[in-house]
Structure 1
Amino acid sequence: MSSKKDNVTVVKIPNDQHVLVEKVRTLLLETPSKRTKEEQKSHFKNLFDTANELLRRDPNHSHYKELKAVSLFSFVDHCSVADPIAMVKLQEANDLAPNIKFIRDRLINLYIKNNTTVPKKLMDQSRLYDHGNNNNSNNNNNNNRNTNMNMNMNMDQSSQDKILALKLYASAVECEMKGDLQSAFRLLYAAHEKDKEHRDINLHIGRLYTKQGKITQANKHIDNAIRGKPVMWEAHMEKAGLEQKEGESSNAVRRLGYMVKSTDTTPEMKKRAMLLKIFYMNSLENSDNGKEIYDESISYFKLLNIKPYQFSEDQIKGFKRQSPIKIGYLSSHFKEHPIAYFMDGILEYHRSEMFQVHIFQIGQVEEDAYTARMKSYIHPDNWHVLRSDSCKLLADMIRSHNIAILSCLDVHTERDGEIASYRPAPIMVNYLGYPNTSGIDTIQYRITDSFADPQDTKQPWSEKLIRLPNSFLTFRASHLTVHPVSVAPCAKNGYVTFGCYNTLSKVQDPTWKCWKQILDRLPQARLIIKAPLFIEESAAQHYRDRLQKLGVDTSRVSLRAYSMDTQNHYVSYDEMDVSLDPFPYNGTTTSMDSLWMGVPFVTYAGTTHVHRVGASILNNVGLGDLVGYSTQEYVDIAVKLGQDLDRIKSIRSSLRDTLSKSILSDPKSFTIQLEDKYIEMFNQSLI
């Protein structure tokens, strides 16, 4: 038995399904928009599972259909979903319950908003169910809209294509969420064929091309997404990322700065743009010793307006009594990643009688051999995977383990920095992953050395610098293949071959101007540049055009795609005699790889940490004479070494052994030095 009220069926529910119906109704009364993304996901999974179970039991029950329809509407209403996905979900809801006016009206408004003809079926439903229910006032208010709808009642092929494009796009997004990128790409391209101007579709295709390293294609689609109004800030964010990959960091920083200053950007988008801008600024030359980055970093974390946790006197007393001291490492990169390359030895050689080591891994990672090896060093109960969209909750989780010292390995990322701002431990350290100040007042210390940060440094820091006696790095070459060091190619060629395998974002115009001088002074010399960008010949040609504008003889420069095959990548060092370190953002992992393969590098040491990492590495392997302290010295040293083929051959034959015997490859001794500094922090801070 049923009745009608406001176009929604009111029914009596069989007793055995009453509980499920009440559960759906209760969930619909909640407000998921005020929850975290993870909590929203759980809420709607629960809601849809329950509504689907009702329909499974009775697929034709009109009220069960209405409950599922309203559930879909709730999802669209409370979650920030793109219009194409919202239209597909609301269409599904309308098909289930065409009698519910607010669903139908929302769907019609979305068609109008996206300049798409309203389907005739939807208009017919509107007239059928709304007939006689609207008063004269409503009819007058909607008169113009209905007139426009009636003019477009008969859908042309273009409108049908646009609707199909939206459906294909929604399906592509679902495939991507399931990890099926191949199907997602196929569906996206099919959607693009139906509506080439749709900005969301172009943006999504551009993102997938970026993941594939096809930057030319990515630029094409991202540019299409940027065109038109209103401003599509997500597309500008993607464009900035592409500019950074192409070595055009100044353009990326300028674009992100515009986003930060705009009054149209959302607070969340402004925050993301500001953080990315700070990171990209490290690739640019500066004349203020890093003060602008320092100021921007301080401003960013003030913008978060986070109130940090305050430890009580009793809690501090408890930390003082810790033995062994509980120390934690926070990162999302406990897998094959540069962070792991430098942390692996530290985790193995921490002395358990002095330190109880905890790992706080942000999010689930696809575990690999590196993860397995690092896990073997840590007690299973002390390896923590943090899962939540709430950084405050993650900080609370860390704090619950009574960690005395937390070393943050990725403070430049949005989540790590925000977690640190909540002060999950009384002693906080900025280490390894980011070559600049955090700007976070809850982080008291930064680990470095006297080569990277001399005592007389003018660079401003929000942290106190803790200098290790030799190097701030320890490198374990276990991620490298056991490829033997080859004979220096200059022995066969009779001339020097320079090279750079660093990411192009580090290779800016000032670096190229120096490299041009080196090539000009050594007429036979060659230069190999290797980067993911060059997987596309069109991208490589675009880069050559840029070099020609700088006056570089591109016939002597070989642009090669970065090999995803580790074996082939390291074999390619056989073709190089000397690496050229970019500036101001020096290499780190790439520089260590080069030394391991017997290839020395020349660096230019500036006035900031990011500009002096190369100097730190070279001084710790006895090659301090390859450090220049001006651009002219950098060029002169490279030219002198390029002329001394005998020295190149000599270095080639002994460099791996030299590296292996240095502090850089002695994680046991390094970790003792690091632990000594941790103990100093512990004794000085807990007072």
Structure 2
Amino acid sequence: MNESSEALETAFAHFQEGRLAEAIEIAGGILLVDSDNSGALHVLGLASAISGALENAVAYYAKALLSAPSSAAIHTDIAAAYLVLGAAEDAAAHSARATAIDPSLGPAHYNLGNARFALGDAAAAAAAFAAAIETEPENDAFWSNHLFALNFSPGATRQEIYQRNRAWGEMIEAETGPVAPPGASKHGEPLRLAYYLPEYDTHVTPRFLEPVLRCHNLDSFDVRIYGSQVSGGGTPSFVPEDVSWVDVGGFTDDELAARMHADGVQILIHPCTFKARYRRILAHRAAPVQIAAINLVSTTGLKAADYLFTDGFLDPPGASEQFHTEELIRLAAFNTYRIPETAPPVVPLPAATNGYVTFCSFNNPAKLSPGTVAAWCRILERLPDSRLLLKHRALGDADVAARFVSGFTGAGIDEERIILEGFTLDGAAYLDTYNRVDMALDPFPFGGGTTSYEALWMGVPVLTLEGTTFMGRLTAALMGRLGLGHWAAADVGTYIESAARLASDLDALADLRAGLRERARASIFDAAAFTQSLEAACQDVWRRLAEHR
């Protein structure tokens, strides 16, 4: 090994051990002698990326690739930087190159999956994550993203979704081994009910959970949250003063389960099993009764999850049991949502003054399947003066935006009829965007969740296609609870016809808009009624356990 190679090896070692200054100094010294040294440039790119200087990282990686165009590692790292920068097309191109050079490189497949998902190709994303799993079968991040993307994939069946979740569950159970449930606590006292909320500042679960926490009957339940956040500290603002917050950031699953055992938790409700990597605690049997509820997309795949709270529409009796490891408990409703207190007032129907109807979808572009886009094109054809407003953070990426516009223009829709908007930081301003639209269109096969709740609060009804999967039925369930079951179509043809018919009756749309917020307040936003239903189910399953002991 020559002196330059030894120095480069030392620089990489310093980087891997977190000594960035030393790594940068050595790499810089190498470049003084050899300005095109790809390894030294790679080190500087890595150091820049970990320091948050992503544009600099991309510049170093790009220069390194001029000297080492066949380096799968550098292609993988530049793809990761592009993903954080929101340049999904560039990330996809470099990830694809990396997987072609070295098919055994799991992170390259993983980056490709994330890029494809950002570009709206959920099926390709799920396949890329599956390829990543083949290289590292026990990688939680690979499995978590694969299972999540599978729910968006147009061709995925409930059976396939169940089987893949169960494959993950069997792997976790084998790692964990048999775990005896903790002993039951005293009877006759308030039930000790725990929620597990990891990384709560990175997902929307608090919006579903907060109204429940504020409505719990604390004479019957001792409620606490075991949670963590990626940034910051302290008790989060959405936790009421009379609910205990236990910060478990940095805990291992074993440590967390031991803490819950020591605290005498009787029922654990896991409100965010939509990501597989959050579910592992259930395999450790942290409580005598364990329940998946509130924000989920499928079965957990774990035998240790005793129950899953759903409703009779999302999971019709006799039609869903075979797709779950859990026993299904059907509540009056699946979940509720926090009322957006900063939301602006609902304005009169915009079409009345615009002279045309504006449709909208604020959903993640990953949900906009080819079938969804094709159906929306046909709706726009039926109403030639109409517009379609698509709004999501991902649409701030010019490549992603161009990709979606081409899906419409390629079908003959004029580009000016498609309005694309990216991220709006201010919550009230974001919701005010609904005051510019008349009617929301739900994507399929994975429909809206938060977006449907927020549209309805803003007086915007949502046309949906009643699907076969859990997330393909959620908006239809909401519309049914509002007494608007006719806004849920049974097939694509009916979906298109319904859009044209409903959008053509402006008087009916205006009347519906004027009263929709109060209608929603009394039903889908009725947190007290939902919480009572959830509490009754918890008391029932606890009685069952007591009877069998």
Same fold (TM over 0.5): yes
Query: 1:468, 1:90 → 2: CA distance?
Result: 54
Percent identical:
26
Which residue is equivalent to 1:273? Answer: 142
Which residue is equivalent to 1:622? Answer: 483
Which residue is equivalent to 1:239? Answer: 112
Which residue is equivalent to 1:65? Answer: none
Which residue is equivalent to 2:15? Answer: 85
Query: 1:451, 1:513 → 2: CA distance?
Result: 27
Which residue is equivalent to 1:211? Answer: 84
1:461 and 2:461 are equivalent in the alignment: no
- Unpaired segments ≥5 residues, structure 2: 1-8
**Contact 2:200/2:228 (<8 A) preserved:** no
**C-alpha displacement at 1:156, in angstroms?**
4.3
Query: 2:20, 2:391 → 1: CA distance?
Result: 48
Query: 1:277, 1:252 → 2: CA distance?
Result: 8
In structure 2, the CA distance between the partners of 1:463 and 1:552, relative to structure 1 (3 Å rule), is farther
Query: 2:466, 2:474 → 1: CA distance?
Result: 8
Other structure's SS at 2:189 match = coil
Which residue is equivalent to 2:279? Answer: 417
Which residue is equivalent to 1:584? Answer: 445
In structure 2, the CA distance between the partners of 1:165 and 1:374, relative to structure 1 (3 Å rule), is same
Which of 339, 349, 361 matches 2:227? 361
Q: Counterparts of 1:293-304 in structure 2 under 5 Å?
A: 293-304=161-172
**C-alpha displacement at 1:620, in angstroms?**
1.5
**C-alpha displacement at 1:593, in angstroms?**
0.6
Q: Counterparts of 1:199-598 in structure 2 under 5 Å?
A: 200=73, 202-223=75-96, 225-226=98-99, 228-229=101-102, 231-260=104-133, 262=134, 265-269=135-139, 271-286=140-155, 288=157, 290-304=158-172, 305=174, 306-311=176-181, 315-316=183-184, 319=185, 321=187, 323-335=189-201, 337-363=203-229, 365-366=231-232, 371-378=236-243, 382-388=244-250, 390-458=252-320, 460-469=323-332, 471-478=333-340, 480-549=341-410, 552-598=413-459
**Contact 1:325/1:356 (<8 A) preserved:** yes
**Contact 1:189/1:205 (<8 A) preserved:** yes
Which residue is equivalent to 1:134? Answer: none
Which of 175, 185, 198 matches 2:54? 185
Query: 1:211, 1:91 → 2: CA distance?
Result: 23
What TM-score do you get using the length of structure 1 for normalisation? 0.71
- Deviation sequence 1:251-277 (CA, Å, 0-9, x none): 1122222333x4xx23434x5333322
- 2:88 partner amino acid: I
Query: 2:276, 2:297 → 1: CA distance?
Result: 16
**Contact 1:407/1:431 (<8 A) preserved:** yes
Other structure's SS at 1:376 match = coil
Which of 152, 161, 171 matches 2:47? 171
Choose 1 or 2 for highest CA Rg: 1
**Contact 1:335/1:371 (<8 A) preserved:** no
Query: 1:287, 1:205 → 2: CA distance?
Result: 31
- Deviation sequence 1:418-442 (CA, Å, 0-9, x none): 1111111110101122221111100
What TM-score do you get using the length of structure 2 for normalisation? 0.88
**C-alpha displacement at 1:392, in angstroms?**
2.3
Query: 2:224, 2:195 → 1: CA distance?
Result: 6
**Contact 1:331/1:408 (<8 A) preserved:** yes
Other structure's SS at 1:340 match = helix
Which residue is equivalent to 1:673? Answer: 533
Query: 1:377, 1:343 → 2: CA distance?
Result: 15
**Contact 2:14/2:22 (<8 A) preserved:** no
Other structure's SS at 1:546 match = helix
**C-alpha displacement at 1:449, in angstroms?**
1.3
**Contact 1:275/1:300 (<8 A) preserved:** no
Query: 1:542, 1:590 → 2: CA distance?
Result: 22
Query: 2:188, 2:97 → 1: CA distance?
Result: 58
- 1:477 partner amino acid: I
- Unpaired segments ≥5 residues, structure 1: 1-75, 96-106, 112-117, 121-153, 176-180
In structure 2, the CA distance between the partners of 1:530 and 1:173, relative to structure 1 (3 Å rule), is closer
Query: 2:199, 2:43 → 1: CA distance?
Result: 36
Query: 2:125, 2:355 → 1: CA distance?
Result: 41
Aligned-CA RMSD value: 3.2
- Deviation sequence 1:146-185 (CA, Å, 0-9, x none): xxxxxxxx964433xx35424523532552xxxxx2xx32
Other structure's SS at 1:567 match = helix
In structure 2, the CA distance between the partners of 1:252 and 1:224, relative to structure 1 (3 Å rule), is same
**Contact 2:502/2:509 (<8 A) preserved:** yes
Q: Which has the higher helix share?
A: 1
Q: Number of matched residues?
A: 532
